Chain A
């Protein structure tokens, strides 16, 4: 018996831990977004790939540099900066100037994350903070769309991507015409519907053959990726479910009231950034409530606000602001929806 040489550890229970760690969760979110990225590159070609790489690199580098400058160990191993970078790129138009994308990445990390104290302390989804900044700073560039499946998209980028910093983006109108695509109006299906009453087929929206931001076009792929995350317990399914339910019910209600003016609820569900926002951004763990009931409240709020902005606001896309608003409300929601603790009802009755 070698018991005299036995070295025993003394720790407090529990002595066993689940193997899943935070970096693994974040890495899985990255994996879950890869099919969406691949589809974006397939639809929009080289520009999409470059934009994805630029935004991700900007986020990861910013996080690394800030940590080094403040003398902390670099947190990039937890993949959370990569998640932010990819998400940001997925919300941008394919021909978005790369330098603006990089700037958006820096802003996401600095304003959206480090300023609040880093991972776990951010009030808002960092990618959305970056995207809101870009929308306010470059309103034209962020609404300049190019059609998918242009000829030669893998060898030739969209010219506006390569705009030099601080210059007007190069116009893409001529480029789109040269690419042999007819009848492209420069509008996304959502804008076409809301402002010009021009419908798009639901199948196109579902499979993603329309124009839009990099990652928002195919509802199908987003759903599959979301189901993967939810099934592995790495995303809370309640939040997207609540958003879908709420926009569908609110949309359905108005559609039954007046089907001529109000769009079909399926269209509301499938168009614009709703799918991407609901599955990957609203479900941001840090900026959403922790109580199960709070998640429903949060999701319903996002769905309803999105509908209101879409229908009554001047913007076609409301999901981003709806999520930011709900992010800000989430501490309050959490506070108001604390689950009843075991045995507490009885105490109050006795008291």
Chain B
């Protein structure tokens, strides 16, 4: 704790050096000179651009005329509809039930009528099954559904069941059902719960605002998870570029609770579970394993806040905070959006500038570009970033040969050798990449591609290689 406090003074200054140091990337000298907060080895410093929305309080976004709710908006089995076309539903009512343990229900974001159940554009533009809902305008949009729940009386398993009923999944982008992460496998134990408030992707400020505005829900949610998992302590890990959130949380936490707030270095991908565990606890998740294998559970702060908000009232997840930002957006902000809101409607409301080049779901380091404006906002969407030609132009540089500058080696947070992997990838030697160079440990953070001065699409090669090897091996 003392170490972290000592680092806090530097934290706010360090946050602003993002742009200047971006040129150096993971340059060793500058890396050693600017240590701030505990962190992991590797990583990059892309310009943050968080100032666009960091000070904007969460605002409710208007209702669209139609909501599209994909049945597969979480990782795991798609939900199964429990309504039929033409049925009237109230806000908060379940529309679909989980299909098994690794699945969650879907709740209605508005009072209205189910107009269609069928194929719609979902995800980033592919077709998928969805429930389409037309809200009744003028209807009271209070959540009428739900009933109070006495948390203290519930067993861990009952708590996990209650979390599944809320339909909450990882709101940090992964969209993995939260209750599944809370279920500790036989023979394992968890001593520490980490609340992930890093938000290391450029532009995004969703978690930042949640940590400032939903502190009580967050602490309630953390308590529920701690009880269900039997952990001793809770650590809230926040990047040092959010000193206001760190301060607000430290002040809000009662001293008798086993919750601490720790500042970690501002560096991408600090918010990756494995990197955060390394920074806070010095532990490593075994290769191919999960955080629970080293006694830790990691949950995104917005996810936890939703659990704290919904579970005591037995309500379902029907909206989330989305950062709509980027140089292409006229009115950037942090908006509380009903799930299922079509992207086209969002962009119409916030307004776009000329020369839009790309629209990204999530942050620009890992988020996919969308190919259709008809797709909806779903549970895993942390932000909508609109980039213009200015931002994407550097990618059009020609690709030079690898000059073995080792920037990628220094940047890789899992300590792979992307240079070597890239050379093998170009030659199609995928098996070697996996067997001799640990390709499967790559979690596609893109740091290597970001720093490569030769503009080599390293992570793109790795995605292809991983996919092919997985396919080949499962075919055997």
Structural contact, B284 and A346, CB atoms closer than 8 A: yes
A residues 87-145 near B (Cβ < 8 Å) are: 118-121
Interface assignment of B392: CB less than 8 Å from any CB of chain A = yes
Q: Give a binary string over B351-378; 1 marks a CB under 8 Å from any A CB, 0 the rest.
A: 0100011111000111111110100000
Tell me if B184 counts as interface (CB < 8 A to partner A).
no
Contact of B357 among A9, A233, A341, A344 (CB under 8 A): A9
* Contact across chains for B373 and A6 when beta carbons are under 8 A apart: yes
**Closest residue of A by beta carbon distance from B386:** A8
Chain B residues with a Cβ closer than 8 Å to the other chain, count? 79
Q: Are A119 and B287 in contact (CB under 8 A)?
A: no
Pick from A269-277, A283-291, A316-324 the stretch touching chain B.
A283-291
Residues of B participating in the A interface, judged by any CB pair closer than 8 Å: 22-30, 44, 46-47, 202, 274, 278, 284-289, 293-294, 344, 347-348, 352, 356-360, 364-371, 373, 385, 387, 391-392, 394-395, 397, 400-407, 409-410, 413-417, 419-420, 438, 441, 446, 449-455, 457, 459-460, 463
Cβ of B77 to closest chain A Cβ, rounded Å: 26
Please give, as numbers and ranges, the residues of chain B lying within 8 Å of A15 by CB-CB distance.
Answer: 358, 360, 364-365, 367, 369, 385, 387, 391-392, 395
Contacts from A to B (Cβ < 8 Å): 1-3, 6, 8-25, 78, 80, 118-121, 230-233, 236-238, 285-286, 288, 290-292, 295, 334, 338-347, 350
Residue of A17, A286, A345 touching B404 (CB-CB under 8 A): A286
Q: Are B28 and A237 in contact (CB under 8 A)?
A: yes
The answer to whether A120 touches B401 (Cβ under 8 A) is yes
A-B pair number, CB within 8 angstroms: 211
**In the complex, A338→B360 CA distance in Å?**
35
User: A342 touching B274 by the CB < 8 A rule?
Assistant: yes
Tell which of A6, A15, A24, A350 has the most Cβ of chain B within 10 Å: A15
Give the top 3 A-B pairs by smallest Cβ distance, nearest first: A233-B27, A120-B401, A14-B446
User: What is the CA–CA distance of A15 and B357 in the complex, to the nearest angstrom?
Assistant: 11
Q: Which residues of B contact A338 (CB under 8 A)?
A: 417
> A16 with B391: in contact, given A237-B28, A290-B409, A347-B288 (CB under 8 Å)?
yes
A129 to B27, CA, bound (A): 29
Instruction: Assess the A237–B29 pair: CB atoms within 8 A.
Output: yes
| Cα-based distance from A13 to B460 in the complex (angstroms) | 8
Which residue on chain B has the smallest CB distance to residue A345? B284
Residues A20 and B23 in contact in the complex (CB < 8 Å), given A78-B400, A119-B401: yes
Please name all residues of chain B whose beta carbon is closer than 8 Å to the beta carbon of A344 when the two chains form the complex.
287, 438, 441
A314 to B417, CA, bound (A): 40
Shortest Cβ distance from residue B331 to the other chain A in the assembled complex, whole angstroms: 13
Q: Is the CB of A342 within 8 A of B450?
A: no
C-alpha spacing A236/B405, complex, angstroms: 8
Also in contact, A9 and B369, with CB within 8 A (given A343-B284, A343-B441): yes
